[in-house]
Amino acid sequence: MTHQKNKGAALTTRPAFLLACAALAAAATGATPPQTTARDPGPLVRALWLIQSQGTPDALDPQRDQAVKGRLSKALGKEKTLTSTALTGLMSSSTFAKLAGPDQRLDPQEIEMALTADTPASRTRLLPKLRAHADALTTSFDLIDAAHQAAGHALVTWITQKHVPGQPLDLTMICTGNSRRSILGATMGNIAAAYYGLPEIRFHSGGTAPTAFNPRTVNALREIGVEIDPTDAEAKRGEPATANPVYRVRWGIPGDSNTPPLETTEFSKRYSDPANPQAGFAALLVCGEADAGCPVVQGASVRIAMPYLDPKIYDDSVYETAKYAERRDDMGRLLFSVMMRVRNQLQTQPTN
């Protein structure tokens, strides 16, 4: 099966703080950094995005991310142009030939054209500030640790095997209180799925002892551009003295009637709550307590442990905001790496 690329989608320019990547590339080659616009990501990041879009499976492995960026920095040279020889092992010769044309070189304009042609429609629907943060996360896959890389590989395999084009595929993030990590992970997973053109892949959240959608979690997601609005509803309380409000969470603008909405309702609940999938889903255990307490997740097609440290331990400290952001982005870059590889594998699968 294959996915059709959205050839007409426009490539949104990337945020200013990615300019540092271009400066590092210039320093490595001894070149004078080119004059760039305020929001230009620079040639190194555009080349990295090209490999993430069209590269070999080995080049997409987060374990090799740092080495790939080093290779690209040298390959670009003073002319910021890529050759097939320089990309040996990073992109197949046949793919390079299709992109480069008769001269067998990829200049900056051709790289930009290739990226524009490969931009999924659902990526263009992401809220602008959120899109910029998502772009930045794709440049930091080398920060994924070995244990989470292994969990990511397992998740890529499951999604690729289970995915049917246009059909919903569900995953549930599970932690203890369903107040912090599971909601951060589910939201970042949904953003990653939309970013890579797979909005039918939906992430949900649940807990083993639900409490409430923590305000610090709300703030961490709002900080990057997720729109979170309270509704007038309250869900069943997990703790009698703790209110459990229902929120509307939105990460993109509406599409047509045939595309999944880029929003959901979120509240604290047990992972088995009727609002969550009941069968055939992937259960992703994001805390050690839930992993130990749920050796079997009823209805799950696969169970994958990917525990993260609870940012709750920093509550009411000077580090609180930074640590919630750190956890959000740790989970985000893993799920972006997963969805990037899923998209590439699905595109290269033979048509049934």
Does the domain spanning 141-348 belong to CATH 3.20.20.100? no
What's the angle, vertex CA 136, arms to CA 132 and CA 137, rounded to 5?
120
Query: d(Cα 76, Cα 83) in Å, to the nearest integer?
Result: 9
For residue range 12-67, what is the model confidence (pLDDT) as tens digits? 333 333 334 444 444 443 444 444 444 789 999 999 999 999 999 999 999 999 99
Reported confidence tier of residue 292, pLDDT bands at 50, 70, 90? confident
Mean pLDDT of 194-216: 97
Residue ranges of the chain that CATH labels 3.40.50.2300: 141-348
For residue range 87-131, what is the model confidence (pLDDT) as tens digits? 999 999 999 999 998 899 999 999 999 999 999 999 999 999 999
What's the angle, vertex CA 347, arms to CA 342 and CA 352, rounded to 5?
110
Mean pLDDT of 181-206: 98
DSSP H or E stretch at residue 248: strand 245-250
Burial 120-133 (b: 16+ CB within 10 A, else e): bbbbbbbbeebbbb
For residue range 137-193, what is the model confidence (pLDDT) as tens digits? 999 999 999 999 999 999 999 999 999 998 999 999 999 999 999 999 999 999 999
